[in-house]
Chains A and B, each alone.
Chain A
């Protein structure tokens, strides 16, 4: 399967609920980033977490990284309808500078 694979592919929740998205990867990484993209719009950088970090917070976002399991999770708390977007994890491998970009999780937050 592809490096930087998000799970689930689609998630639909009600406003106010928490949303959790996961990302798995296969090789050793320097860092992992989460981006969001609204339909037809550009990428927005959310959080970068380095391989020596385990958890980072930014507002309502919480990202964890488990290098032993080669996985990361993005938690959005108290979701809003405006959080509706596609969310991507992007890994940067230690072997080089190329990034791997998954197909993303489509999050729909219903008002």
Chain B
């Protein structure tokens, strides 16, 4: 089946630094990827929609300049958390759409990246 990977799986950084998280579709091309953030009670919040070759679409309340998204290829989207603060510590998860026949699409989650900002 389709596989979506994320790298790194865990990262610890100092406050004020930037961290880049990669999301890759391993055996299919994904023109659209999504970035989510998981909160302690485990519900997911959609942060942004990443489209290959164009600017990402951010959800209301998500700072574009803080969470930079680049979807440079059909298999890779990156999320950069800039000037990270402890409150940015969270679990970040991406998902990717695989388009099938007759425009039927399926979406798969990556395993997630745990970010800890000290």
Show the binding face of A for B, using Cβ within 8 Å: 30-31, 33, 35, 37, 40, 42-45, 48, 86, 88, 90, 92, 97-99, 101-104
Chain A, residue nearest B104 (CB): A30
Known: A45-B1, A101-B43. A31 touches B106 (CB 8 A): yes
Cβ contact within 8 Å between A92 and B112: no
- Given the complex, which residues of B lie within 8 Å of A90, measured CB to CB? 109
Cβ contact within 8 Å between A101 and B1: no
Q: How far is the CB of B106 from chain A (nearest CB, A)?
A: 6
- Given the complex, which residues of B lie within 8 Å of A92, measured CB to CB? 106-107
Cβ contact within 8 Å between B9 and A42: yes
- Given the complex, which residues of A lie within 8 Å of B43, measured CB to CB? 101-103
Total contacts A to B, CB within 8 angstroms?
50
B42: which of A30, A42, A86 is its contact (CB, 8 Å)?
A86
Chain A, residue nearest B46 (CB): A98
Chain B, residue nearest A35 (CB): B109
* Interface class of chain B by DSSP: strand
**Does B75 count as interface, using CB distance less than 8 angstroms?**
no
Q: How far is the CB of A3 from chain B (nearest CB, A)?
A: 12
A101: which of B32, B44, B111, B112 is its contact (CB, 8 Å)?
B44
* Interchain Cβ contacts under 8 Å between A and B, 13 examples: A30-B105, A33-B108, A35-B109, A40-B114, A42-B6, A44-B111, A48-B106, A90-B109, A97-B32, A97-B34, A101-B44, A102-B43, A103-B41
Cβ contact within 8 Å between B105 and A43: no
Cβ contact within 8 Å between B107 and A97: yes
Known: A48-B1, A97-B97. A43 touches B109 (CB 8 A): yes
Chain B, residue nearest A102 (CB): B43
Q: How far is the CB of A65 from chain B (nearest CB, A)?
A: 14
- Given the complex, which residues of A lie within 8 Å of B95, measured CB to CB? 99
Within 8 A of A (CB), among B21-75: 32, 34, 36, 41-44, 46
